[in-house]
Amino acid sequence: MRNSMRAGTIAAIAVAGLAHASAARADGSEKGTFGLGLILGEPTGISAKLYLKDDQAIQAAVGSAFVGGGIQVHADYVFHPWILEDRDSFTMPVYLGPGLRGIVYDKGRGGDGYLAIGLRGVVGILFDFKHAPLDAFVEVAAVGEYGFSSSDGGLAAALNAGAGVRYYF
């Protein structure tokens, strides 16, 4: 009973927030500060971004790591120090910053899966559309990680690369 009331409250808040965001956009105001969408690459899954300031944000993703095999979660604190292009329809800033990654490697049937955690350094280009609550991005990240496994563990390096799109509320 308590869980269903909690779920109902969360759903009501989400609907109210979406209604408010849609009404604000209908009035011609800017897009929101929170974006949610998809990322394709390494990993492939769900991507989110929360702007703290115009030039600083926290971005994160969770999804399947096809190259490494497993489920990956990462979060980055990114800065937008340069704008490559500023047109009427879009702005194209470069972003970069440090982050963290956790991945559960899946070695398949009979394999010995394990957890690895590490640091990320990400750099990317963002296509920030001015007249739509969307952005599109392309990024690459170098990863240094430590795997907690007796057979495959220890220090290792990895590379993440992806492209995606997010809708802002």
- Spelled out in words, what is the top-level CATH class assigned to the domain 31-168? mainly beta
DSSP state of 89: S
**H or E element: which one contains 92?**
strand 90-105
Is 120 within 8 Å of 139 (Cβ atoms)? no
Neighbours of 146 (CB within 10 A): 13
Is 161 within 8 Å of 41 (Cβ atoms)? yes
Tokens encoding 157 = 């390096």
Residue-by-residue DSSP string for 109-149: TT---EEEEEEEEEEEEEEEESSSSEEEEEEEEEEEEEEE-
Please give, one letter per residue, the 3-state secondary structure of 25-83.
HHCCCCCCCEEEEEEEECCEEEEEEEEEECCEEEEEEEEEECCCCEEEEEEEEEEEEEE
Q: What is the pTM of this model?
A: 0.79
Cα–Cα nearest to 138, from 130, 146, 128, 147: 128
Cα–Cα nearest to 121, from 135, 150, 101: 101
Backbone conformation region of residue 40, classed left if phi is above 0, alpha if psi is from -120 to 50, else beta: beta
C-alpha 1, offset from chain centre: 34
pLDDT tens digits for the chain (169 residues)? Answer: 433 344 344 444 444 444 444 444 444 457 899 999 999 999 999 999 999 999 999 999 999 998 878 999 999 999 999 999 898 999 999 999 999 999 999 877 767 789 999 999 999 999 999 999 999 999 999 999 999 987 777 899 999 999 999 999 9
